[in-house]
């Protein structure tokens, strides 16, 4: 059954040298709501007669991020016109270009240059301006997960505070994909990190996992009740918050005067609590960050430089991806369910055919990405 699907929907031999169209499988939603209920699989025919500025893509892999779930639910800042194909991030191979396209050519690997590009599909036709070329030799698992989490971490640690060797970053949600990227970049730059995680039965396992990655200190949210733990920690110049709510006052206790707190998420779904004393007596700076807004506000050249820098860190093995679980696109219902559970310890990543599935499985082993503790 699987071989038949892969022949129909995208092996290299069947990309259409003689056919006039491609048959694409897409995972689409016609209304906002629970992803397990509103997502449906469709089959579409795409003509090979491209407009001059368009490119045809064969999608290779695409992860499930929290933003994808929120977009489908209709609670995210990006709301694509309905019906919409799900997926904000991924990697694709260019299989045909229009006559006016200059930025990419057939065989290039590309990533989305816009939000809500609709990556949960086997094929698509998009304007060439909507994609950015990346190194074709970058492992698929890293290429597919390049543009959101590692870039968010990269921008936050470089854009808000001019950190020097030995300076301290404090972050909550430290075992998230962004948190893990922050830990690795900081270790490379010889910055120290205080990493806050939720208390859990497997605390020791999680602490060991993050410490092996380069974390300087790992504490739980309940450790703030223990004066002997908190009093021994250094003060941070930069704070990174993805939780919000009551977690923020705890972080502020570990931050210097005139330090900067950057908020990039709100996992608690509670309003952020900032003590008045932090603003008056600590003279703290509060800022927000959203990678989508940064992308819109910066040039293609700036965005390409960022991607090149992150890719360099990946190729040097400074930055490794979190643990991912490859899932065939046809099994999207199972993957979405696991992604919403949030405790599997591994991020779900769609792969579109058996070739990509095999390649990503081998890459994960080669990258030395071992099993992560459950969140």
pLDDT at 371 over 90: no
CATH number of 150-292: 3.40.50.720
- The average pLDDT across 266-271 equals 86
Domain ranges of the chain: 2-145+321-366, 150-292
pLDDT at 11 over 80: no
pLDDT of residue 267: 85
Q: pTM of the full predicted structure?
A: 0.90
pLDDT at 34 over 80: yes
- The average pLDDT across 209-220 equals 96
Equal CATH topology for 2-145+321-366 and 150-292: no
Quick one: fold of 2-145+321-366? Answer: Quinone Oxidoreductase; Chain A, domain 1 (3.90.180)
Confidence of residue 13 (pLDDT cuts 50, 70, 90): very low
CB neighbour list of residue 354: distance below 8 Å, 6 or more residues apart: 2, 3, 6
pLDDT at 39 over 80: yes
Helices (H), the chain: 2-9, 35-38, 66-73, 140-144, 149-159, 177-189, 203-213, 227-230, 247-252, 276-280, 291-297, 300-315, 332-341, 354-366
Q: Which residue's entry shows tokens 């499930």? A: 64
Residue range 239-258, pLDDT digits in tens: 999 999 999 999 999 999 99
* Residue percentage of the chain with pLDDT more than 90: 79
- The average pLDDT across 143-154 equals 97
pLDDT at 41 over 70: yes
Q: How crowded is residue 163: how many other Cβ atoms within 10 Å of its Cβ? A: 18
Closest CA to 183 of 207, 159, 160: 207
- The average pLDDT across 188-217 equals 94
Active site amino acids? 76
pLDDT of residue 321: 86
């Amino acid at each position: 059954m699987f071989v038949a699907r892969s022949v129909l929907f995208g092996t290299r031999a069947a990309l259409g040298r003689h056919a006039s169209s491609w048959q694409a499988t897409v995972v689409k939603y016609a209304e906002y709501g629970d992803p397990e209920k509103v997502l449906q699989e469709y089959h579409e025919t795409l003509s090979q007669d491209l407009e001059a500025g368009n490119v045809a893509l064969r999608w290779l892999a695409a992860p499930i991020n929290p933003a994808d779930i929120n977009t489908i639910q209709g609670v995210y800042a990006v709301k694509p016109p309905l019906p919409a194909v799900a997926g904000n991030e991924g990697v694709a191979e260019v299989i045909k270009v229009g006559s006016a396209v200059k930025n990419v050519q057939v065989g290039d690997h590309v990533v989305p240059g816009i939000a809500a590009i609709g990556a949960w599909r086997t094929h698509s036709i998009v304007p060439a301006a909507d994609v950015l070329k990346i190194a074709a030799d970058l492992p698929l698992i890293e290429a597919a997960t390049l543009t959101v989490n590692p870039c968010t971490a990269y921008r936050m640690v470089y854009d808000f505070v001019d950190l020097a060797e030995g300076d301290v970053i404090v972050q909550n949600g430290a075992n998230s994909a962004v948190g893990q990227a922050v830990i690795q970049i900081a270790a490379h730059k010889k910055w120290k990190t205080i990493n806050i995680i939720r208390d859990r039965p497997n605390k020791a396992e999680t602490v060991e996992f993050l410490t092996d990655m380069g974390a300087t200190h790992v504490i739980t949210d309940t450790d703030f009740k223990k004066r002997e733990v908190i009093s021994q920690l250094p003060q941070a110049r930069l704070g990174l918050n993805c939780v919000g709510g009551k977690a923020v006052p705890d972080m502020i206790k570990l931050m210097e005067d005139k330090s900067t707190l950057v908020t990039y998420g709100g996992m608690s779904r509670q309003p952020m609590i900032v003590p008045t004393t932090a603003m008056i007596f600590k003279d703290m700076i509060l800022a927000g960050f959203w990678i989508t807004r940064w992308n819109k506000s910066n040039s293609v050249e700036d965005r390409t430089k960022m991607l090149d820098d992150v890719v360099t860190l990946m190729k040097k093995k400074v930055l490794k991806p979190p643990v991912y679980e490859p899932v065939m696109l046809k099994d999207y219902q199972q993957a979405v369910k696991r992604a919403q559970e949030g405790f599997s310890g591994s991020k779900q990543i769609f792969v579109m055919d058996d070739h990509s599935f095999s390649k990503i499985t081998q890459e994960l082993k080669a990258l030395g990405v071992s099993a992560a503790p459950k969140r």
